[in-house]
Chain A
Amino acid sequence: MKETVIIWTALVPFLLLLWFSQRLSGLTGVSGLALAAVVSAAAVWFPWFGHPLPFWSASLSANFSVIMVLLLVVSVFDRAFETGIFRPRDWRAAWIFGAVASVLLYPSALGLGPQNFDAYALGWPWLFWGQSVWLFGGAGFAAALLIWRGNRFGYVVFLAMLGYAAGFQESDNFWDYLLDPVYGAVSLVMILWMIWRRWTSGPLVPTSEESSGR
């Protein structure tokens, strides 16, 4: 097992606990973050049923996406320091990206849809080299377009692509750097929530903060 995989499988439960402990405690600022980080780190290394949390999180999945981890980092920092790293439109781009990717990937990966098409196979660039350009080029194009338009989620996609080039996950499938079931499910829920809000409250009007592209 690669050392980077061990670190990754510890980082994901740590960030999730940090995110939850921030929200449950209401703590903000450096001291709040430090306290939440200490509590989360202790919970990660505490032997639950004989094993630390990374053992159990790896049993569930060792391939949490780079995008989900970076979104957690952004959320934790925004909560602690009210820095506003991500604006509403950046979050919207994250949810749309996750929802679209989920719809493209999971039905075919589960054997549904066109019988012998599996979008997941496009994530191994050497397997169907000609066709996989659509996934790699598509992700590159999405990141480039978002960055060019000043959407900060583009940098997150860019970092996920650099992560794939570094190859630090257990999986060497590009999809696993972009998407995981948790990020996909949250994205779909958020998109449905946004649609419901639009139905009940009318069209979403960009705030002046969003319009300024700050």
Chain B
Amino acid sequence: MNGGGTGRTLLAVAALLAGLAPWWMAREEGAKSFLGFSVESGSTGAGDSAATGAFFRTAQVNTASTHTKSHSAALAELSDGTLVAAWYAGSGEGAADVAIYLSRRGVDGAWSEPAAVMTRERVEADLRRNVISLGNPLLLADDSGRLGLLFVSIAAGRWSGSSMNLAWSEDGGLTWGAARKLTMNPLANLSALPRNPPARLMGGGWAVPVYEEFLGKFPETLWLQPRGEGWSSAVSRVEGGVYVLQSALVPLAVDRAVSFFRDFRPARWMSASWSDDAGRTWTKPAVTGLPNRDSGLCAIRLSDGAILSAFNDLSPGKRENLRLALSEDEGRTWRTIATLEEEAGSEFSYPFLIRTSDGTIRMVYSARQTQILFAEFNEAWVHEQAEAAR
């Protein structure tokens, strides 16, 4: 073999090794990424019937709002018990004046004056690229008090021209670090949106239900994994095609979870998929007994393992009511137990449920896409409603 041939052979071996080296180095991180969901049974609620009795309370978060559009609210609990709500508001969906607003609810139970924490101008400066509007915020609160904000920025067109960004706050959402772009797909990174509550992972990371809305419309999972001072992000498919999106991810055990989908097929039933390998793979979506007229829904697991869902039931208009339903068989069958809102010609949409550390169920949703409403209730109240509905 001549010198050139030997050199080429050595380079060929180096190329093969260069291809495999990043893969081999990722094995430890890969093992951590699917350690499983962090599932806690927790308390049955501050208002456990044995202690304080069943309760249900409501409030408006954006009381003084003058925006003609306020929508897609999300909620999180900080490590000190403070509740934080985020939503987008402005003159209209996709408008240049839309900003991400945030309000905090302290121990006195009052919501603070909403503050615009991400504006189009600020995000444009952080990302150094064109931004025409913002939307769909989601909050990630970890045990150390850090608060993450996932939100979309639209570069062109409407939601199909959106991409995802992540920013962190070290002071509970009062001030925020620079937003950074997350790469979610290979086609100009277009069309990825978050919607429902994230699930904590045992390795310290997050599994965030997200969806794509470009040529296909389908649900995915965004995996955020701590890496050094920063985070690694990656996306895996839940289901492809063009018939389900906006999944509500409910961990059932360390390696088991169910996802419920907004379904826009003519059958008008909410569909569900199950995973037995910590979210790596999912079953084909199957229709459940809960109606869904192509509208956002949310679900959480209660302390006894039952699943509570907030959804828009069928009505002459699209989202004229907001109801709660309970499933005791991991989401296969459902029983409607309560009606939270019902008004002809009105709209109540995008419910967002969390169960806080004291076991109380907290919820935000939009009314007429102008008001961000808040509800809190305990499991005793849920069981009372379930008994009454039998």
Contacts and interface: CB of A to CB of B under 8 A. Distances in A.
B23 A125 contact: yes
B12 A136 contact: no
Interface string A23-65: 0000000000000000000000000000100111011111100
Nearest to B155: A59
B382 to A, nearest CB: 33
Interface majority SS on A: helix, strand, loop or mixed?
helix
Interface in A113-162: 113-118, 120-121, 124-129, 132-133, 136-141, 143-145, 147-148, 150, 154-155, 157-158, 161-162
Residue among A136, A140, A179, A181 with most chain B CB within 10 A: A140
A165 B181 contact: no
A140 B234 contact: no
A116 B237 contact: yes
A139 B19 contact: yes
A6 interface: yes
Classify chain A's interface size.
Answer: 35 or more
A4 to B, nearest CB: 13
Interface string B217-239: 11010010100000011111111
A132 B242 contact: no
A179 B187 CA distance: 10
B20 interface: yes
Interface stretch (B28-36, B48-56, B72-80): B28-36
A133 B20 contact: yes
Interface string B6-33: 0011011111111111110111011101
Nearest to B131: A59
Classify chain B's interface size.
Answer: 35 or more
A164 interface: yes
Nearest to A57: B129
Contact of B183 (A112, A121, A141, A171): A171
Interface stretch (B277-285, B340-348, B356-364): B277-285
Contact of B186 (A58, A117, A139, A173): A173
A97 interface: no
B212 interface: yes
Contacts of A120: 185-186, 235
The 6 lowest CB-CB distance pairs between A and B, nearest first, are A140-B19, A111-B216, A129-B30, A125-B26, A171-B183, A124-B234
17 contacts: A110-B187, A115-B241, A116-B282, A124-B235, A126-B27, A126-B29, A127-B223, A128-B30, A128-B236, A129-B30, A133-B20, A137-B19, A137-B23, A139-B19, A158-B18, A165-B22, A174-B22
Given A59-B156, A155-B11, 6 more contacts: A110-B215, A133-B20, A144-B19, A162-B18, A172-B232, A173-B186
